[in-house]
Amino acid sequence: MNAELVTLAAGADEWGVLVGAVGAAGFFTLLIVIVWQVAATWRARMLAAREEQYKELATKYAQLLEDTVELQRRSVEEQRHTLEELMQTRRAVGSMEKMMREIE
């Protein structure tokens, strides 16, 4: 009878070790899943923040492009105006030269 009790106690002890091992494996699996999900959430937030930065950068670039086009347009208008003034000045100088030649 003592042999049976020793055998039953040994069997119960083996079951306890097995249950403990399965419980520990489950606990560590749960921890791994939690860490994995936290990392995935963090990564998604970082990607969303990066996407927002790209959108802001694209908006700034578009505004700068519009400003550059406007400045270029103004520059062309000023060059045309300067060219017209230069042509008028040449005509006036030409007229004065012609008048001076006629006087001499």
Distance (Å, whole) CA 10 – CA 80: 104
Q: Residue 16: which pLDDT band, with cuts at 50, 70 and 90? A: confident
Distance (Å, whole) CA 52 – CA 93: 61
Task: Report pTM.
Answer: 0.51
The tokens describing 74, both together, are 């103004």
- Long-range CB contact pairs, 64-70, < 8 A, 24+: none
- At 61-89, the pLDDT tens digits run 999 999 999 999 999 999 999 999 999 99
Q: Residue 4: which pLDDT band, with cuts at 50, 70 and 90? A: low
Distance (Å, whole) CA 97 – CA 104: 11
User: How far is C-alpha 14 from the chain's CA centre?
Assistant: 57
pLDDT score at 7: 52
